A and B are shown apart, each in its own frame.
Chain A
Amino acid sequence: MTAEATPSLVEATDGPAQAGPSVRGPRARTTTAYLRYVAGKLGGAAVSLLAVLVTSFFLFRLIPGDPVKYMTGGRQVSAGQLAHYREEFGLDLPLWQQFTDYCGKALTGDLGTSYQFRAPVIDKISEALPNTLLLTGTAFVLYTALGIFLGTRSAWRAGGTSDRLNTGLALTLYSIPSFWLGLLLIIVFSVGMGPIPGLFPTGGMESGGKEGFAYVLDVAHHLILPVVTLVAVEYGQTLLVTRSALLDEMGSDYLTTARAKGLRDDLVRRRHAVPNALLPTVTLIFINLGRTVAGVILVETVFSWPGLGGLFYQALSVPDLPLVQGLFFVFASAVIVMNTLADLIYPLLDPRVGR
């Protein structure tokens, strides 16, 4: 039941739960059926990506603001110059033509030119993406490990003091706004408070001017507070899902049978319950990874992390349409790619298949 603790958890368990039945059959029969399933899922993902591409174009045309006027705002510009810009960015064309141009270029990997940076969107994104991946990747590894570890422990000792403490803490941290936690961490550990000296840098990703190992250490030093923030607000979800999945599994018939056969309790748990219970967790893990990329906007803002989130915010205020579209596409496709991966891996992991 606890899987429903938070709305996003519901989505997490919902997708593959639907995929489940459709998978079990084919997999049981032949590998070709599985391949057909894979092809179907990949096809679906491709359609979704295309839909995202289309929507991002039209959605962001609704944003008020003439980009050409922004670019020239406050400066004296001749009519010729205005026309030049419109032509340069293809804004003089009718909407449908802009759209076809956009689609055609997008298919070749060209997401247009940023209005404010006058650089290819794909370049701006590739500059920021590794930074975001570093932050989310590190946090992701840590909170997933922590969540599964504590969730398993909680379920083993369900109802006990440590379980209640763990679940309570997870729920509390999950209710805390991440940006607020980040600000408090900065006040306490970066600015320094009372006897605590400012241990960590206040923001950014590097001090600059460092090389080799010193550089790696420097980045790690900058990484700690934002990662702690992300881990604190995210691990609870994994914990709760692992815990509830494990509890559900422990109540099921085959485990009772196993126990009746005389197998020892903890052996039953480890050999049967945990692997099965990890299924919804695996799904959640993938979906979370996709979502973290977009959800990191706040933490990046608070810690001045030079990633996609900050770029998105910068782009929206202009509005720098090509950049906004490109980023939106990246955020959405991260979720799509991860969902698809979850869909593909799920049947391979499901131990009930073939039973």
Chain B
Amino acid sequence: MNRHDQPNRGRLRLRLLAAAGAAALTLTAGLATPLNPAPQQAQAKGSQQATESKKEGKKVLTVAVAQSVDSLSPFLASRLLSTSIHRLMYEYLTNYDPADNHTVPGLATKWEPSADKLTWTYTIRSNSKWSDGQQATAQDAAWTFNKMMTDQGAATANGSFVTNFRKVTAPSPTQLVIELKKPQATMGALDVPIVPQHIWEKVKDFSKFNNDQSFPIVGNGPFVLTAYKADSYVRLKPNKTFWRGAPKFDELVFKYFKDQDAAVAALRKGEVSFVAGSPALTPAQAASLKGEPNIKVNDAPGRRFYALATNPGAQAKDGKHFGDGAESLLNQKVRQALFMAIDRKTLIDKVFQGHAVEGAGYIPPRFSTYHWKPSASQELAYDPAKAAQLLDAAGYKKNADGKRVEKNGKPIDYRILCHATDPNDKAVGQYVKEWFGKLGIGVTLNCLDNVTDPWLAGKYDLAFDGWSVNPDPDFVLSIHTCGALPATPKDTGATDNFICDKKYDELYDQQLAEYDTAKRADLVKQMESRLYDTGYMNVMAYPNAVEAYRTDQIKSIETMPKAAGNIYGQDGYWSWWSAVPADASGASSDGSSSTGVIIGIVAGVVALVGVGAFFAMRRRATAEDRE
């Protein structure tokens, strides 16, 4: 610890000095300060190579993103941007087919379970090399998994993948053997970046190492990360020896925009090639971009569901109840009445303005294997009159003021947890408030930056909820099992919403042990049906992934699924790996045309300041003279 303190103290003093010196900051002197020593070095290396290729008309693919990188270490990163970049830097054991999401080879070419379903053997390909020239082997994979199983710090991001592992070994460079504690159907979906052992075994503290010290970062994915500046950009170069074939752009840049409007404007001007919404472009932005020449708006079915979750009476595994969810919500009829009070179609039309699909079952239609829809008789369609009847029948009648009351006589007033950073939550919340109001139910929108705390404490009645669903639905299903509940009210469980339903759990266990895809899909659909009937999760919409790119910079790019799929945040590296640059005319992201403008403006400012100073001095001088 003490060793670290020394440089820090020096740095602090330096910074304080810098702060004190700010008064003396002038325009020109100021311009030199934003360069940070460390990133600058990193950048220098990256741009050295950049200058080499600039002469041949470098094709740069610039992606505007709304997230900043939390960590470049695959053991720590949890944000979508970071994990997407890890997909590009490191090869995973398996990948998903861009056409229909089925598992395809990655670093592993083949994977098979033993007869007792407890041992999986992976064949590792021999044509994948780390970018420093060393061979990627089964030993690297085994080391990565073992590290996650033994070091808490290394288990931060992906620890859940290895909880069921008993032992991981690499009997030969091309053979990886994983022994399990229990059968697990998801062994083809281990979304864990495999890192080079010879680099990472030098890391001392995994919980603090952010993998941003030396560039380029050694990897074996389709791209190699060459430069990174926090809150600014990530730059990647194609891996020319990538076994599936090298990407076609000369450089891939992820540029951070805090403000989505700024990103859209940058796209319009050609400063960036692609804009990923966070999580989607707004209807107004999409509409305004649609008319632009050379811009294509990709409005694809999303992988997320958007739901209104109900507090089912928060409880822990030890049976203790906690939180303060409304009593009336424990009644299934009430929950179903709330389903019927929400006009999902209007939400699609007004809030999403057509950029979403009306919600039904838990898993979005994009994952056709597992998607489920209620039958006409099972469906809880929008019907406020019937909702009112259900509430009356359940004993929640209106009082003299037209308000429905709890069993204890108090008027019902549901607190809805909403994310202050999500415009959709606020918009949908206002509709829900008015619809519920007509039924005689009060609503308070509790919009917070950080909803985690009241959520985990069970201190809410309803909450806006949404998850991105993976090709393998295991994770989003697991978060509604009793096993995911916290051990005690003080602990944190993986549970999404404190749901604990015996029937659902039985089905969950069955599907996890079922290695036959068709049979497993059937079990998953039964689970979705059960979840729908309980009324705990009102899936209102599947928002589309609305994104846009410049056709004069990107000639073609692969979507996932191939027919009407998304580009940013795919399960795999398909989009950026497959992107083909447009012919010479485009890719004007260098913005050399604007250089003239800048020079003019800077010259103007300098001249203005100069003239001002001149006059000021002359006046003083004359005053001096006259005396």
A–B contact, 8 Å CB criterion (strictly below): yes
Listed in ascending order, the chain A residues whose CB lies under 8 Å from chain B are 64-66, 68-82, 84, 88, 105, 108-110, 113, 116-120, 122-131, 133-134, 136-138, 140-142, 145, 149, 186, 190-192, 198-199, 201-209, 211, 214, 216-221, 224, 264, 266-267, 270-271, 286, 289, 301-304, 306, 310-311, 314, 316-319, 330, 333-334, 337-338, 341
* Nearest 4 CB-CB pairings of A with B: A137-B25, A203-B262, A109-B12, A76-B494
16 contacts between A and B (CB under 8 A): A74-B494, A75-B78, A76-B494, A133-B30, A141-B25, A149-B616, A191-B268, A201-B271, A202-B261, A205-B232, A208-B253, A209-B60, A218-B598, A267-B627, A270-B623, A337-B19
| Chain A residues within 8 Å of B372, by CB | none
- The answer to whether A202 and B265 have CB atoms under 8 Å apart is yes
Q: Assuming the A-B contacts A186-B265, A319-B450, are A79 and B257 also in contact, with contact meaning beta carbons closer than 8 angstroms in the complex?
A: no
A138 touches B612 (CB 8 A): no
Q: Which residues of A contact B159 (CB under 8 A)?
A: 75-78, 81
Q: Is the CB of B589 within 8 A of A75?
A: no
Known: A76-B484, A149-B612. A310 touches B33 (CB 8 A): no
Inter-chain contacts of B255 with A (CB < 8 A): 204, 208
Known: A133-B25, A304-B259. 14 other contacts (CB 8 A): A77-B492, A80-B152, A116-B70, A126-B11, A129-B15, A129-B19, A141-B27, A145-B609, A198-B269, A205-B232, A206-B232, A221-B601, A303-B259, A304-B256
B56 within 8 A of A: no
Are B627 and A271 interface neighbours, CB within 8 A?
A: yes
Which residue in A64, A77, A120, A337 is a CB contact (below 8 Å) of B20? A337
- Asked if residues A110 and B163 are in contact (CB atoms below 8 Å), the reply is no
**Chain B residues in 8 Å Cβ range of A216:** 31-32
Asked whether B516 is an interface residue with its Cβ less than 8 Å from the other chain, the reply is no
Contacts of B450 in A (CB 8 A): 64-65, 70, 317-319
- Identity of the chain A residue whose Cβ is nearest the Cβ of B270 in the assembled complex: A198
Residue of B nearest to A89 (CB): B207
List the A side residues contacting B478 at CB < 8 Å: 76
B449, CB-defined interface residue at 8 Å? yes
- Which A residues touch B235, using CB under 8 A? 208-209
Binary contact readout B448-459 vs A (1 if CB under 8 angstroms, 0 otherwise): 011011101000
Q: How far, in Å, is A341 (CB) from chain B's closest CB?
A: 7
Are B452 and A199 interface neighbours, CB within 8 A? no
- Complex CA–CA separation, A78 to B162 (angstroms): 12
Q: Total interface residues on B, using CB and 8 Å? A: 100
Given contacts A118-B208, A337-B19, contact A76 B163 (CB under 8 A): yes
Are the CB atoms of A286 and B23 closer together than 8 Å?
A: yes
User: Which chain B residue lies CB-closest to A182?
Assistant: B259
Residues of chain B within 8 A (CB-CB) of A198 are 265, 268-269
Chain B, residues 127-163, CB within 8 Å of chain A (1/0): the string is 0000000000000000000000000110111011001
Beta-carbon contact of A64 and B257 below 8 Å: no
The answer to whether B36 touches A130 (Cβ under 8 A) is yes
Task: Pick out which of these stretches binds chain A: B2-10, B326-334, B405-413, B531-539.
Answer: B2-10
Return the CB mask of B492-518 against A: 1 if under 8 Å, else 0.
Answer: 111010000000000000000000000
Report how far A79 CA is from B155 CA in the complex, Å.
13
Nearest Cβ in chain B — how far from A100, in angstroms? 15
Q: How far is the CB of A150 from chain B (nearest CB, A)?
A: 11
Does the CB pair B18–A75 fall under 8 Å?
A: no
CB distance from A268 to the nearest CB of B (A): 10
Interface of B is mostly: helix
Task: Check if B258 sits within 8 Å of A310, measured CB to CB.
Answer: yes
Inter-subunit contact B456/A66 (CB<8 Å)? yes
Contacts of A140 in B (CB 8 A): 22, 25
A117–B70 CB distance below 8 A = yes
The chain A residue with its CB closest to the CB of B597 is A199
Q: Given A190-B265, A337-B20, A209 and B253 touching (CB < 8 A)?
A: yes
Task: Report whether B262 and A119 are in contact in the complex, using a CB–CB cutoff of 8 Å.
Answer: no
What residues of chain B lie closer than 8 Å to A311, measured between beta carbons? 231
- Given contacts A64-B454, A311-B231, A301 and B18 within 8 Å (CB-CB): no
A134 CA to B31 CA in the complex, in Å? 7
Query: At the interface, yes or no: B594 with Cβ under 8 Å from chain A?
Result: yes
Taking CB atoms, residues of chain B closer than 8 Å to A214 are 595
A271-B231 CB under 8 A given contacts A126-B11, A220-B598, A304-B256: no
Q: How far is the CA of A224 from the CA of B594 in the complex (A)?
A: 13
Distance of A330 Cα from B16 Cα, bound (Å): 9
Residue from B23, B71, B153, B612 whose CB has the most chain A CB atoms within 10 Å:
B23
Question: Are A108 and B5 within 8 A (Cβ)?
Answer: yes
Distance between Cα atoms of A66 and B619 in the complex (Å): 62
Instruction: Check: B169 CB closer than 8 A to any chain A CB.
Output: no
Contacts of A304 in B (CB 8 A): 256-259, 262
| Contact partners of A130 in chain B: CB under 8 A | 18, 33-36
Contacts of A72 in B (CB 8 A): 492
* Minimal beta-carbon separation of B62 from chain A (angstroms): 8
Q: Complex formed: what's the CA distance from A306 to B36 in Å? A: 13
Nearest A-chain residue to B50, judged by Cβ: A209
Smallest Cβ distance from B279 to chain A, in angstroms? 15
In the complex the two chains form, is A65's CB within 8 Å of B8's CB?
Answer: no
B266 in the interface (beta carbon within 8 A): yes
| Nearest chain A residue, comparing its CB with the CB of B491 | A79
Kindly list chain B residues whose C-beta atoms are within 8 Å of the C-beta of A209: 47, 50, 60, 235, 251, 253, 590
Q: A116-B70, A119-B210, A120-B8 are in contact. Are A65 and B421 (CB under 8 A)?
A: no
